[in-house]
Chain A
């Protein structure tokens, strides 16, 4: 059953620019460093020459995390042994929190939906050390573009109204001869977008304004259906402007639009 959309605000991201360590796994080259995991850009990958990995982030103090998105990866669909873990120390034999990450099947163009985990109800969601691990061998050397962990799991309330638009663009270049024979080349990218409206109370409108102030032109998490394992890393796409139309006493209409933050071509 469909659930309300889930999202984060930019300042919720606790791993941003925190450099991981890698007790298991080997970097492919310096062109794909660990820093790419938390640079807020899914397109820039951390690539390995190994098929298993453990990345660990030391947050300094116990820090609450309610959801985590794993963006732009090449992990096999349904692969077992993929976990998100949190613990008080940098030891992972029996962490306080260990949840499996379910890897969705790739789509027809090769893109893999971004999996996410919801740990907002977990007792051990606030720990100093957090870790992502692929414990059993993937079919190809691992690569991942972003690990985005949010301190808050924000639930769209109210949800987007009916009539919400979902779109995708597949840019390419096309020509044709004088006789109509067509030539086409693909750039290899697909960009998803969402647009819709929310009907809010004044308090809810204020919350959305705060979200926009914090997140415009910055990446954040957007999960259109909180019951589906398909997260997106997006930014607002409203021409840098949030328009709140006051329809009635304590009722406001707010158009919202999102566009995927760059994720580059498919990861192979």
Chain B
């Protein structure tokens, strides 16, 4: 059965009847029947495949918001809020029962499923299934203005992983006496680590073991009670390459004083150990090696490969950072992995079996776009992380953005170019409404310092480097250095360099952001997709944008998109502009001020020491001559307002009275002159005259010269000095 799609033609022809509604699934606590409340703005007596009857109790549907993580990986909540009118003090349930809201135990309403549905008259006629616009959990409700009750719902993550939740820290499994009865007290409560990818310090020559271990007590093996357990991580791993004691590689001790999975003398059938209902990778040691490690004088470390796809050591190493992120979501976010094989994806809810909590395909897609990237890291050996930290690390190291997709599944998307999925025009599609549109120069960075190879032992220090985007530096005539980026999940130089390059390329110019409002035919658009926009006021023709945020207003039946311009920045000043100083020979200045939309160019260079303007030209009377030494102002335009004002602030004087000076700005290529005002004074004016050019904007390039001519009577120099401003 197809999911309903709303078309532009329906909206323009006014043929469609729209039925949005909210569904709230209230399950009795602690266990019991689930009553489904369905509320709309009008009474609709649908049959069961369209959700049965809906009562007209919705005052406001509020807005459904979905946003991608930003460049810093900040997790953005997906949420919705609505208000219900309960004037009868009865919220009817689908079973025909009624329940007095005042009698309910309100705490049982929290974390119950909220879904937004929509369908329409033609969709129902065609047998299309509803589009579920939001799946989430009730996180807040109450009334400030009875009988209006306000409900708020958040996505599956926000409601589950608040900083105060029971699983607010990762890894949430910590060392306990339930598994390790004689674990030293100082190690109890420490997290049981995760190991992903190939973590090794052998290739870089350190070769002392990059993976630390944690002492968790003793175990009797084959009747020998003297074996000490050194926990590597809280799951099976693909492979232990080498074990080190005090940074010295173990060679001949395997099976004698050291036991390691896959090495000689390993006495167990499996490479992992299941202890007290939890699965581990454990190294064993006894004698002086164990004693020194327990004392902390010669810790036991190892190199090798971490989590694999099966969960018993037999699978394929999971070594792509995006796929490692998905594995974390599977094992520790939507499941509570303790032991056994790795769990997989799970349905969103029991009543919603066809939609999983994770959009698995999106992770495969992004991984395929960066096939050579490798992630290798540990979590938990340097303390715990919040879920927000996990998302930040995953998106930075995976070079992707994370959010909730159109089906409320967790998903990732990269900004690799993709084919635009839809074209919109201001004539036919964009609803007339305030439409902010501006570049964000704070996001311009052409030097990206970065750090990789996280250190988990005392033996290795971090390394850092930086990537520069010379074209951007040239364009902006300045170096704009980003905050240092830590690629904490990366251990190979090639991936770190690739990530830095991607980041540098993304920030080389000021991105433009805009927000447009569309009708319901935009409901099927997805975060990260690209659209093309044609807008006459902004002079855009099929200009490409990427969807960064989607906000659905079911009261107004509109869809707001926050868009990032994928074209180069608003102004690409590819030709630098400066002026020769006739006396000192030094160049003038070219300054990009607060916004790339405002460029100030000083023409004529600094004044002489005496403070007098003295850059002279001596044109023939009536003939305009360029300001001496001047290189024309050439600007490649891609300016958003359809016109901008280019202002030349010009000071002129003559050497002797009796002549005059007239400035002008000339567009040579188009043979257009913009005259200034004639002056006759020999003193420097106290204020400049301004020659304003209304620039046609749009895409293109113009070259301007500042020129002057003199009067006919005296053949002496005149002086001219100016600066240029561009102000939209």
Contacts and interface: CB of A to CB of B under 8 A. Distances in A.
A242 interface: no
Interface string A165-176: 000000011011
B637 to A, nearest CB: 23
Given A47-B45, A186-B14, A188-B42, A181 B558 contact: no
Given A43-B45, A264-B43, A185 B14 contact: yes
A177 B12 CA distance: 11
A178 B430 contact: yes
Interface string B491-522: 00000000000000000000000000101100
Contacts of A176: 431-432
Interface string B543-575: 000000000000011100000000000000000
B196 to A, nearest CB: 49
B12 A188 contact: no
B610 to A, nearest CB: 56
Given A44-B45, A186-B14, A29 B52 contact: yes
A185 B520 contact: yes
A179 B18 contact: no
Contacts of A123: none
Given A177-B428, A179-B428, A30 B95 contact: yes
Contacts of B428: 177, 179, 181
A265 B556 CA distance: 19
A264 B432 CA distance: 31
A187 B557 CA distance: 11
Given A30-B94, A30-B95, A262 B18 contact: no
A262 B557 contact: no
A192 to B, nearest CB: 15
Contacts of A188: 17-19, 42, 44, 121
A262 B44 CA distance: 11
Nearest to A184: B14
A19 to B, nearest CB: 11
A183 B45 contact: no
A57 interface: no
A41 B92 CA distance: 13
The listed residue with most B CB atoms (<10 A of its CB), out of A31, A41, A145, is A31
Contacts of B95: 30-31
Given A44-B45, A175-B558, A177-B432, A30 B96 contact: yes
Contact of A187 (B11, B18, B47, B517): B18
A179 B426 contact: yes
27 contacts: A29-B52, A31-B48, A32-B45, A33-B96, A41-B43, A44-B43, A45-B45, A47-B45, A47-B47, A173-B556, A178-B426, A178-B427, A178-B537, A179-B426, A179-B427, A181-B428, A182-B14, A183-B11, A183-B12, A183-B431, A185-B11, A187-B18, A187-B42, A263-B43, A265-B43, A265-B44, A265-B45
B21 to A, nearest CB: 12
A44 B11 contact: no
Contact of B43 (A32, A43, A185): A43
Nearest to A263: B43
Contacts, number: 114
Nearest to A175: B431
A223 interface: no
B18 A265 contact: no
A189 interface: yes
Given A175-B517, A265-B44, A267-B45, 5 more contacts: A31-B48, A44-B43, A175-B519, A179-B426, A183-B11
A264 B427 contact: no
A177 B52 contact: no
A36 B97 CA distance: 11
Question: Which range contains the number of B residues in contact with the other chain?
Answer: 35 or more
A178 B435 CA distance: 11
A265 B17 contact: yes
A145 B45 CA distance: 10
Contacts of A30: 94-96
Interface in B234-274: none
B52 A31 contact: yes
Nearest to B52: A31
A143 interface: yes
B407 interface: no
B667 interface: no
A189 to B, nearest CB: 5
B431 A143 contact: no
Interface string A252-268: 00000000001111010
A177 B16 CA distance: 18
Contacts of A262: 42-43, 56
A124 interface: no
Contacts of A183: 11-12, 14, 431, 519
Contacts of A41: 43
Contacts of A32: 45, 52-53, 96
Contacts of A263: 43
A35 interface: yes
Nearest to B429: A177
A220 B47 CA distance: 28
Contacts of A44: 43, 45, 53, 55
Interface in B8-56: 11-12, 14, 16-19, 41-45, 47-48, 52-53, 55-56
A182 B12 contact: yes
B360 to A, nearest CB: 35
A187 B41 CA distance: 8
Contact of B557 (A28, A177, A185, A265): A185
Contacts of A33: 96
Contacts of A175: 431-432, 517, 519, 556, 558
A148 to B, nearest CB: 17
A118 B11 CA distance: 44
Contacts of B431: 175-177, 183
